[in-house]
Structure 1
């Protein structure tokens, strides 16, 4: 019959998986909402599950009237936008020479960069670097040490490599420098890739609670 909906095993399994994902996504939101309006005693005793016990708005009062909260949000917005801009600038510039086959030591530098994905320095080396650079107690201590992200660098490098080499050769014949080729030709043509990695940068900075 035309228009009759047919149920398949794949469709049923897919629907069950999506329902499970939806429940696992909504549960934390429902739970934290119930906890936020419940009595403190009920929360500490573990009596709250998905429905509030009692009624208490002290948590919302503390958040809405605490002068530290607006300042904290402004700092987060400032750090996020500044960090995203620094990441886009440094990563896009670093990826350009690595995408050129004639770049001397290209494989060595790529190997050294990729190793940073597996060998994390930790807090103490980062602190020592910030201290030696004189960046303590400044916003630059949060954005300069993480100016280039390895995974996003690889994405931009791969995108640059897929561009037509004739465009760069024509610009070089016309007397354009490498900087002009990068900023006037390569980056404008890389807007889709920059938008994608920029979203990663933005979310990463917004969620970086520990470094704040």
Structure 2
């Protein structure tokens, strides 16, 4: 392999410099949030940009964990994320695979209906009436059933299934497999990267669910972690309810907000490395052709 030309080396150097700047711009906010959450109230009160605490403090996290309802809301969010993601994957895969088979009668009509839902929706109030009419209000099912299928993810996964060679399925049928067995034994194992990618998409959506929880859940004991942490931030900012306790613990509202961001973001970020190797491959394979 011949040496790079001076122009090529200069191009690489400029690319590395630009990417380094972009990486710093993306990483610095996370470092700032993490640093402030562990910084003492006195240092936060002095103001300025904090990238590494000079005076460490866990007061913000002690305040967040001081109530038993945090554990309950965390368990509820984990339950909604796990069960909701399973529901999403089951409905999405079982609908995407038949639609990827050109021999399916009425396939184009169903696809048209799916595409229409990507452009038009009934809106918040009609959706609430539907959820209420089904008796799902004030239940955790209201956070999972209405969003059981994402039309965009369905289309991408359908395109992924279409790329599976028909010869593979024909060989399986020659060996005695029916369509259901082909789906479970051939299609699903070959679509691991795509399924892992959409599992990440769905799990992030469920973990961050907030508006639906506020809209459909009236019982505070069923609140998700995002709703509960919002209440903590509101109390800390407005100095109502626990204002005297904040003064006793000498906590700055800013440190509470940053601790809330860390606590709400960290769990789902820890899951990402296990799915990262499938992430790009899964998305690109399903978006090549329609």
Q: Same fold (TM over 0.5)?
A: yes
Question: Alignment RMSD, CA only?
Answer: 3.2
CA distance in 2, matches of 1:34, 1:157: 43
Compare 75-84 and 28-37 and name the one that shifted more. 28-37
Return the offset for 1:172. 5.4
Could you say which residue in structure 1 is the equivalent of 2:47?
Answer: 47
Q: 1:55 to 1:199 in 2, by over 3 A?
A: closer
- Aligned length, in residue pairs: 209
Q: 1:163 to 1:33 in 2, by over 3 A?
A: closer
CA contact (8 A) 2:43 2:55 kept: no
1:198 pairs with 2:207 = no
SS of corresponding position for 1:156:
helix
SS of corresponding position for 1:100:
coil
CA contact (8 A) 2:101 2:162 kept: yes
Could you say which residue in structure 1 is the equivalent of 2:102?
Answer: 101
Deviations 1:40-95 (A, max 9, x none): 8955xx93422669776432221132212222221111111111100110000111
Could you say which residue in structure 1 is the equivalent of 2:142?
Answer: 141
Could you say which residue in structure 2 is the equivalent of 1:116?
Answer: 117
Could you say which residue in structure 2 is the equivalent of 1:156?
Answer: 157
1:185 pairs with 2:183 = no
Return the offset for 1:167. 4.3
Normalized against structure 1, the TM-score is what? 0.80
Return the offset for 1:101. 1.0
Deviations 1:152-173 (A, max 9, x none): 2122211221223244445556
Return the offset for 1:98. 0.8
CA contact (8 A) 2:35 2:50 kept: yes
Return the offset for 1:39. 2.8
Q: 1:199 to 1:42 in 2, by over 3 A?
A: closer
Return the offset for 1:13. 2.4
Could you say which residue in structure 1 is the equivalent of 2:277?
Answer: none
Unmatched tracts of structure 1, length 5 or more: none
CA contact (8 A) 1:39 1:55 kept: no
CA distance in 2, matches of 1:193, 1:115: 23
CA distance in 2, matches of 1:136, 1:13: 55
Normalized against structure 2, the TM-score is what? 0.61
1:23 pairs with 2:45 = no
Compare 150-159 and 81-90 and name the one that shifted more. 150-159
Structure number with higher helix proportion = 2
Q: 1:179 to 1:133 in 2, by over 3 A?
A: farther
CA contact (8 A) 1:42 1:53 kept: no
